[in-house]
């Protein structure tokens, strides 16, 4: 974005640029505006009305010209915003950022304005944060593009659904099973695609995502096909349910605590549960980044050949990245299934994979804070814009384009080092020497 | 100082389809010695390196590494990354760092083999147990030592990709040395360095040879550097070894002069550092 500020484009160039845009608009306007099919008595006939064509050309010409002239001042005016970096003095506060954020999020359901809708929206946002945290390991850290991440989400959800309905497991063992099953499938998937990179990897992962969905859709005897699975066990707190009446031999939360039963309790519990899962996942990733395995993920993204020359086995690094990412996807899926009480294949289509990937890319690859901001943006913004009804996807698209113009590397681009020599504890001898 | 043989290459042959890139080359590299591999462009030097370090699987030949603790190891039978684990570590002609990671992180990735078991499937690391913390601190100290020796301490927290070319070359050597290698293979380490940096490199390599008890194998075009620091030189041309010997012997070898210059010409030879008295 520095180019327009440094070298203003001369006016004749802008004029020519706008002229070309106008001509293209006129060429497009001929079929779009100039020709119209009309249903008359003698059948469908084409009416020509070329009056709109020059109009379209002039409008686009003027619009392009004005935009071009405004681009420079606009970029200059927004430059401080685009180049904003947290001041260095906030570095000391960084370790506190995560816990404070979790505390603030935990307080949300108890705030006066919190209602069912807000808590539900928060829960959805947290599911996406957990999913994107998982995908961020594969895509952001290890640099392995995955266009079929919803497959792991689906496997986690269906594992939870089937173990609780068929095997009558409780929620907690099913949660563990969901995460592990996803991981296992990720290992199986990663074995055939280890040699692929770039576009080819993208295509195969896209295929895996679709295959998973289609298998679930068609394996009627196991998954119920398009009808899905219902009656999935609800999450419990130390065996306590959040129902009005206790199941046989069990107790409800309200019975034991003496708090009067309210249907919101379940919502708040679900919200706090996914918050805890997500916080744990984010903490784990932050720790993993500092460990040999996490550094190997990033090194693999940077240069696979250099990794091999240092004795790092790229296969193990890739498999572990896929498996760890899928583990988190599976946990999110399992939680999703238990929250809804129902799963069906249509929740796990390509749009889901694309949304999760959009969160990772928008947030800035590899950045946990970026994932949180982007997930809130993608989940909450369309909700806020509900008033605009038909135009909300338009507004959403516009917002995405603006972000890509101003922050092409994602909202929080730029990588944080995992360790600094200046803060690492020096040897006592070295300290004395200084 | 002992100079027992470390690496023994016998009949190394590498064929790419119809192209015979390396044809039955024999060479040895000794502990505490700098061995240079020279030859005109396209002679097959880097191919030999790629075979040695596990990036190519040789068509034929035996690469025997005499490992002090693991005994003799046939490198050509190992998987690519396995060679580095035996202590044969290389640098690249076109530098290959992890550009967006810091210099220190580059050196810590290099210590993956020592750190990984200490993190116990990452569990000890996740729980930040004492054993893990000690291992990481030791790794940082190793990195700090090499950064100090290569005068990189000031840029330890910079992204490696932002450094100047000469610095990146040094980071690559520091990274290779942090793996605690047995045989350091350098592919044109002086390429792109200015004369002052080249002299510093010569001092550094001589220092490593003197202090670390490892072997150094070197591909280099800078004849001044090669003649100055090498203990033994192997010359290859068109994939075959044409000469081997001390710098003094190589300087006066008629076949080497012919390979490099075609017709011997006093001015050219003096300029290349070959044939000088």
Pairing of strands A240-241, A229-230: unpaired
Query: pLDDT tens for residues A288-345?
Result: 999 999 999 999 999 999 999 999 999 999 999 999 999 999 999 999 999 999 999 9
> If contacts are CB pairs under 8 Å, which of residues 82-101 in chain B contact chain A?
82-85, 89-90, 92, 96-101
Let me know if residue A412 belongs to a domain.
no
The predicted structure's pLDDT at residue A76: 76
ipTM tops the 0.85 cut? yes
Same domain, A38 and A102: no
Q: What share of chain B is helix, strand, coil (3-state, %, to 5)?
A: 45, 25, 30
Residue A433: pLDDT band with limits 50, 70, 90? very low
In chain A, the number of structural domains is 2
Which residue of A284, A313, A426 is in closest CB contact with B126? A284
How far is the C-alpha of A189 from the C-alpha of A383, rounded, in Å? 35
How far is the C-alpha of B22 from the C-alpha of B12, rounded, in Å? 7
How many CB contacts within 8 angstroms connect chain A with chain B?
Answer: 128
Let me know if residue A103 belongs to a domain.
yes
- A29 alpha carbon, distance to own chain's centre: 37
Query: pLDDT tens for residues B4-38?
Result: 889 999 999 999 988 999 999 999 999 999 999 99
Cβ neighbours of residue A40 under 8 Å, at least 6 residues apart? Answer: none
Residue A5 has pLDDT above 90, yes or no: no
Q: What is the CATH number of the domain that holds A230?
A: 1.10.3470
Q: Do A308 and B81 touch (CB under 8 A)?
A: yes
- A410 alpha carbon, distance to own chain's centre: 12
Mean pLDDT calculated for residue range B62-72: 92
Q: What H or E segment, with its residue span, contains residue A46?
A: strand A43-48
Same domain, A173 and A285: yes
Strand segments (E) across B68-197: 71-74, 88-90, 183-187
Whether chain B has a CB inside 8 Å of the CB on A307: the answer is yes
Q: In a 10 Å sphere around its CB, with 0-12 CB exposed, 13-18 middle and 19+ buried, how is residue A244 labelled?
A: exposed
Whether chain A has a CB inside 8 Å of the CB on B107: the answer is no
Let me know if residue A174 belongs to a domain.
yes
pTM over 0.90: no
Same domain, A71 and A103: no
The predicted structure's pLDDT at residue B92: 94
Range of the domain at A25: 3-77
Pairing of strands B60-67, A229-230: unpaired
Same domain, A174 and A53: no
How far is the C-alpha of A31 from the C-alpha of B99, rounded, in Å? 50
Q: Do A310 and B179 touch (CB under 8 A)?
A: yes
Pick from A11, A30, A31, A9: which is nearest to A19 by CA? A11
Considering only A201-210, A307-316, A375-384, B193-202, which range has the smallest mean pLDDT?
A: A375-384
The predicted structure's pLDDT at residue A367: 87
Let me know if residue A93 belongs to a domain.
no
Same domain, A145 and A19: no
Q: Which residues of B touch A311 (CB under 8 A)?
A: 81-85, 89, 112-113, 179
Q: Do A422 and B157 touch (CB under 8 A)?
A: yes
Q: How many CB atoms lie within 10 A of CB A192?
A: 10
Listing DSSP states for A127-184 in one string gives: HHHHHHHHHIIIIIIS----S-THHHHHHHHHHHHHHHHTS---HHHHHHHHHHHHHH
Same domain, A313 and A208: yes
Let me know if residue A208 belongs to a domain.
yes
> If contacts are CB pairs under 8 Å, which of residues 248-277 in chain B contact chain A?
none
């Amino acid at each position: 974005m520095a180019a327009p500020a440094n070298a203003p484009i001369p006016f004749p160039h802008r004029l020519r640029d706008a002229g070309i845009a106008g001509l293209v608009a006129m060429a497009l306007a001929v079929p779009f505006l100039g020709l119209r099919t009309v249903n008359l008595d003698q059948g469908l006939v084409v009416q020509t009305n070329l009056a709109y064509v020059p109009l379209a050309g002039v409008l686009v010409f003027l619009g392009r010209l004005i935009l071009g002239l405004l681009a420079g001042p606009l970029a200059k005016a927004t430059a401080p915003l685009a180049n904003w970096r947290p001041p260095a003095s906030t570095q000391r506060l960084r370790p506190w950022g995560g816990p404070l954020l979790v505390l603030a999020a935990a307080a949300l359901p108890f705030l006066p304005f919190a209602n069912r809708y807000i808590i539900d929206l928060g829960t959805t946002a947290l599911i996406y944060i957990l999913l994107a945290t998982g995908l961020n390991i594969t895509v952001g850290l290890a640099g392995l593009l995955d266009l079929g991440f919803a497959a792991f989400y689906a496997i986690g959800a269906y594992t939870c659904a089937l173990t609780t309905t068929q095997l009558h497991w409780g929620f907690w063992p099913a949660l563990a099973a969901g995460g592990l099953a996803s991981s296992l499938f990720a290992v199986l998937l990663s074995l055939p695609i280890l040699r692929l990179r770039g576009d080819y990897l993208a295509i195969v992962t896209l295929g895996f995502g679709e295959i998973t969905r289609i298998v679930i859709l068609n394996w009627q005897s196991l998954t119920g096909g398009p009808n899905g699975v219902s009656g999935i066990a609800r999450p419990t707190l130390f065996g306590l349910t959040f129902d009005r009446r206790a199941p046989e031999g069990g107790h409800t939360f309200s019975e034991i605590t003496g708090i009067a039963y309210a249907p919101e309790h379940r919502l708040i519990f679900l919200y706090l549960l996914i918050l805890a899962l997500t916080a744990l996942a984010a903490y784990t990733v932050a720790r993993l980044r500092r460990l040999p395995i996490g550094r190997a993920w990033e090194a693999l993204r940077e240069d696979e050949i250099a990794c091999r020359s240092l004795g790092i086995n790229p296969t193990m690094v890739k498999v572990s990245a896929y498996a760890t990412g899928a583990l988190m996807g599976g946990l999110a899926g399992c939680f999703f299934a238990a929250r809804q009480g129902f799963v069906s294949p249509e929740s796990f289509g390509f749009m889901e994979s694309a949304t999760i990937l959009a969160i990772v890319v928008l947030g800035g690859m590899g950045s946990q804070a970026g994932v949180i901001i982007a997930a809130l943006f993608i989940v909450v913004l369309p909700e806020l814009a509900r008033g605009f009804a038909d135009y909300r996807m338009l507004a959403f698209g516009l917002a995405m384009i603006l972000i890509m113009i101003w922050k092409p590397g994602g909202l929080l681009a730029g990588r944080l080092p995992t360790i600094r020599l200046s803060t690492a504890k020096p040897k006592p001898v070295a300290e004395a020497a200084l | 100082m002992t100079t027992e043989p470390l690496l023994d290459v016998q009949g190394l042959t590498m064929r790419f389809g119809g192209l015979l890139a390396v044809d039955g080359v024999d060479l040895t590299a000794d502990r505490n010695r700098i061995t240079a591999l020279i030859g005109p462009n396209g002679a097959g030097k880097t191919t030999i390196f790629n075979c040695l370090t596990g990036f190519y699987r040789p068509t034929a030949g035996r690469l025997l590494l005499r490992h002090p603790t693991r005994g003799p190891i046939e490198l050509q039978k190992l998987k690519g990354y396995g060679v580095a684990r035996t202590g044969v570590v290389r640098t690249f002609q076109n530098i290959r760092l992890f550009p967006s990671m810091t210099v220190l992180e580059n050196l810590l990735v290099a210590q993956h083999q020592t750190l990984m078991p200490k993190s116990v499937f990452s569990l000890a690391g996740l729980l930040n147990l004492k054993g893990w913390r000690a291992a990481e601190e030791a790794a940082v100290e190793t990195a700090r030592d090499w950064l100090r020796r290569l005068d990189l301490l000031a840029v330890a927290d910079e992204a490696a990709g932002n450094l100047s070319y000469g610095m990146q070359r040094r980071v690559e050597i520091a990274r290779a040395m942090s793996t605690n290698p047995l045989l350091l293979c350098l592919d044109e380490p002086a390429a792109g360095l200015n004369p002052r940096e080249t002299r510093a490199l010569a001092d550094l390599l001589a220092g490593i040879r003197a202090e670390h008890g490892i072997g150094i194998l070197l591909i280099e075009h800078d004849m001044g550097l090669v003649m100055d620091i090498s203990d033994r030189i192997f010359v290859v041309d068109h994939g075959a070894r044409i000469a081997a010997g001390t710098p003094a012997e190589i300087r006066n070898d008629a076949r080497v002069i012919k390979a490099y210059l075609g017709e011997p010409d006093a001015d050219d030879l003096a300029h290349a550092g070959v044939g000088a008295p």
